[in-house]
Amino acid sequence: MSRLRSLCLLGLVSVGGVACSNGAQAPAPASDSSPLPSYPGSRRPSAPNMPTPPPRNDNDDVSGHDGDDDDDTPVVQQPPPVPAPQAPEPPAYTREWYVSPSGNDSANGSREKPLRTISKALTRVGPGEIIRVQKGTYAEKLIIDASAKAGTAEAPITLRGEGLPKLVPTQSGWFMAHVQRPHWRIEGFEFDVRGQRQVAVTFSGNTTGTVLAGNELHHGAFGSGISTDAGANGITIENNHIHHFARGNDDSHGVVIAPTSVDITVRGNDIHDNSGDSVQCLGPEGFSNNAPARGVLIEDNDMYDNRENAVDLKTCHDVVVRGNRMYGFGKSTSSRGEAVVVHYSARNVVIEDNDISDSSLGIAVGGNRVGAPPTNISIRRNRIHDLKTPEGSGIRIENGSDVRVLHNTVVGTDGFAFVVGHGTGGPSTNIAVRNNLFATRNAVSMGLSAPGLSMTSNLYLADAAFNTGIFVAPQSGWVGSTLAHWLSNGVELDSDESGEPLVDLDTLMPGERAVDRGTDLGLPYCGAAPDIGAVESDCPEATAAALME
């Protein structure tokens, strides 16, 4: 059951003071109760310990727009649609095929007389049936194309490894597995690419309802571990361990979502130690005139220690990046060390409820672009902490249009909590910054290219420093201007400072001056009014318990 739905059923969430009973209609993701996989050698973040996120409303975005004609700040459109959750597996299989290293491809594929190759089983299995691949090492290419049957929503086809059978590459080609059929479920395999120039699994064509779940994929040296391309649609990549895709100074990513992909979910994976990004949504620039990918949900993943970023969104549309933990990104030859970067002509993007730490930059919007700047971007309820030199900025908007920065908490950054309008690659237009808790000494750096910037109801650390004009990298001893001086420029209204903006650096629980002091932006909250920052301090205990599930 989704957190929101739980909360709504508990009757504990209010949106603008109204209980969110209609939110209970949201479908429950099938996997919400699945525990994340645990892997030896996985590095987990040390802090914070999942501070209580606020209740969230999947059907609402926020802005100061309340119908008043006098408010022309950016208005949030409906959030991008997200792919529908997968239907549960049927309880039984109409036929069970067995594959074993001791089998024979002329056998009947029963438990007693298994087949020898997975490839053989792929051509024989039908809807509602399962292939049970027994422990062992298989050197064959898995091709699920027109030579294999399609599953159906009611009768998917399951390809299951039992005892973690290992797939290893054959000599030829650029992939180990190519999936081009709908309603297949592939689970329980180790894809050991063994340093070959191959991706582990690639998807294309009609793949609606197809799931790649609970596999380990590692050590490839081509463009990615997993890719979706050529009209791939309706795919869920879930609870996999994806690591060590690397090719020297070139980038190799955990997951690449290429143009023409539609409705791709990447959820609950552990993706790390790649020479590129954990997840990249690739735009068509420089490759083709194909339609950008759209309908991408990147949710509840652990992404860390890549040479580039956790999430890199180029020209893709309707993307949600939600509830991920991202850390371990430093400046390299090909990256400024951003955890999240949204650039080129990305459009309709929500980045919410993420925990970002130990990086050089938290969330960056803009920078490289060819066409329009990133447009209609919401950055909300993120917890950003412990960022480091050389940049150390929490949220940086280089260029973009209609960007909302709402209810984020930024603390422990070497650089500024918020940077905007320095004009690289174009202006930052219509940026709204509200209800953020910027608990850092270096508060805001504002350049000269931020037309329509509107900042209200933010809370700063007492005696924080503000920078206007040319960007400065704040070394120790840098003295900027005061909040009072900053407020005199008219860009920011109704904001304040506090000597204790946070009362707990682990949970990021806000201090008194932040509690119930936010503006009601239409997002769920507890108590009399929204708290400033990403964490609502005053939710009832039952709500907090539900949120911690």
Q: Which residues bind Ca ion (CB under 5 A)?
A: 516, 527, 531, 538
Nearer to Ca ion (CB atom), residue 273 or residue 531: 531
At its nearest, how many Å lie between Ca ion and the CB of residue 300? Answer: 25
Distance CA 549, CA 270 (A): 19
Nearer to Ca ion (CB atom), residue 190 or residue 538: 538
Torsional sign, CA 94, 95, 96, 97: negative
At its nearest, how many Å lie between Ca ion and the CB of residue 404? Answer: 20
Distance CA 498, CA 460 (A): 6
Token duo for residue 354: 């993420």
Nearer to Ca ion (CB atom), residue 428 or residue 456: 456
Nearer to Ca ion (CB atom), residue 348 or residue 543: 543
At its nearest, how many Å lie between Ca ion and the CB of residue 45? Answer: 26
At its nearest, how many Å lie between Ca ion and the CB of residue 26? Answer: 23
Task: Tell me the β-bridge partners of 428.
Answer: 400
Nearer to Ca ion (CB atom), residue 384 or residue 535: 535
At its nearest, how many Å lie between Ca ion and the CB of residue 379? Answer: 20
* Cβ atoms of 384 and 356 closer than 8 Å: yes
The DSSP secondary-structure symbol of 547 reads H
Residue linked to tokens 């996985």: 42
Nearer to Ca ion (CB atom), residue 60 or residue 516: 516
What does the H/E/C string look like for 341-402?
EECCCCEEEEEECCEEEEECEEEEECCCCCCCCCEEEEEECCEEEEECCCCCEEEEECCEEE
At its nearest, how many Å lie between Ca ion and the CB of residue 527? Answer: 3
The DSSP secondary-structure symbol of 282 reads -
Half-sphere exposure of 298 (CA within 13 A, CB side): 31
At its nearest, how many Å lie between Ca ion and the CB of residue 495? Answer: 18
Nearest alpha-carbon partner for 400 in 448, 450, 468, 458: 450
Nearest alpha-carbon partner for 281 in 303, 299, 260, 301: 260
Which residue type does 500 have?
E
Half-sphere exposure of 494 (CA within 13 A, CB side): 13
* Cβ atoms of 252 and 220 closer than 8 Å: yes
Distance CA 408, CA 436 (A): 5
CB atoms within 10 A of CB 90: 13
Nearer to Ca ion (CB atom), residue 315 or residue 457: 457
What does the H/E/C string look like for 329-345?
ECCECCECCEEEEECCC
Distance CA 338, CA 382 (A): 14
At its nearest, how many Å lie between Ca ion and the CB of residue 386? Answer: 25
At its nearest, how many Å lie between Ca ion and the CB of residue 536? Answer: 5
At its nearest, how many Å lie between Ca ion and the CB of residue 217? Answer: 42
Distance CA 384, CA 386 (A): 7
At its nearest, how many Å lie between Ca ion and the CB of residue 60? Answer: 17
Distance CA 263, CA 267 (A): 13
Token duo for residue 530: 């929204």
Nearer to Ca ion (CB atom), residue 16 or residue 231: 16
Nearer to Ca ion (CB atom), residue 19 or residue 75: 19
Please provide the size of the chain in residues.
549
Nearer to Ca ion (CB atom), residue 393 or residue 435: 435
Distance CA 8, CA 231 (A): 36
Nearer to Ca ion (CB atom), residue 16 or residue 527: 527
At its nearest, how many Å lie between Ca ion and the CB of residue 543? Answer: 11
Nearer to Ca ion (CB atom), residue 89 or residue 516: 516
